[in-house]
Structure 1
Amino acid sequence: MLIGYCISFVQGWEEAPVCLSLPCKAYSFLFGSSRNGLFEGFFYIALGASFGLRLDYLDETPLLFDFALAALGLAGNYLVSNDPHLPFCAAASIGLFLLSIRRHGACLNSYAVARHISTVVYLVHMYFIVVFVYGFDGGANPSLYANDVNRPLLYLFAICGSLSVSALVILASKKLPAVKTIFGI
């Protein structure tokens, strides 16, 4: 993720040395941005795998730490501009994940449900962002981030829409095996 952050920084640096800008331009040509390439997505996959191997220990993190991490990440995402917010996204994601998997009873296993919700939200969230930016807000710039939108309202629209679709997909997947197969849950 840090490599992706550095690539994003060099892409925006107008006087970047050629030895840095050429590899970054080649990477950008192949993947578009560090968000869509290897680095940010791979960070979350590796993090999920390491959490999966340590599930027994995740409940031992102090509840206050989980809340603080989520709050720091959410505040950073709100206060910091587009590319520099990536570490705050990671902090918010980790904090919210740790809060969501806490056991609330001896036999309650929320992991499978959280994994299914996460899968559906991942697959549909950009549809809501595009509908909001270009449909409701009248965005005209092809670059999603270059449009002037109310970001907190965009976030609420995307998360509420994605979670609603997630609930519908999970309910439908219990009755229709094709929905389960399509969404991979």
Structure 2
Amino acid sequence: MDPTAHTVRDRLAYDASTGVFRWRVRPTSNIPAGTRAGCSNTSGWLIVIFGVVHRARRLAWIYTHGKIPEGMEVRVLNRDESDLRLCNLELSTVRQRMERHPKHHNNKIGAQGVCKQTLGQHVRFRAKLCREGRVIHTSSHPTLEEAIAARAEALRKYEANR
């Protein structure tokens, strides 16, 4: 459960231009007020408030905007979890975050949304664009370059119509 904006603002000072949190009050006897709050870990910057571990990106949003709406999460735009400037944070749903996710590590083609189909001796490349749980575009092409271009064009048209 997230803390309230009042609790976050009472305990921490947040500089939106640098993304750094500092303690307003002494959290424990060995940490003075004014020192940088939290610690870095593989899943991002973490801050403990009243014995509960919180992601700093969520606290930054709560500090500046208040409550995070139900079903939403705070996403770091440049994927650098230590860069918590307010201009680098946005609200998104899990589905929106997954749509913007980079290609998977085991993608052998090297392009997101394109796969290779072998039908007997014929090799085709299929371009596919999915958004909001629906297939928006699918097409089959003789070359990888054509399939990548077709998916990019479908994405451009989809984004232009939103």
Is the TM value for this pair above 0.5?
Answer: no
Structure with the larger helix share: 1
Structure with the larger strand share: 2
User: Please, what TM-score do these two structures have when normalized by structure 1?
Assistant: 0.26
User: Please, what TM-score do these two structures have when normalized by structure 2?
Assistant: 0.29
Higher relative contact order (Cα pairs below 8 Å, separated by 6+ residues): 1
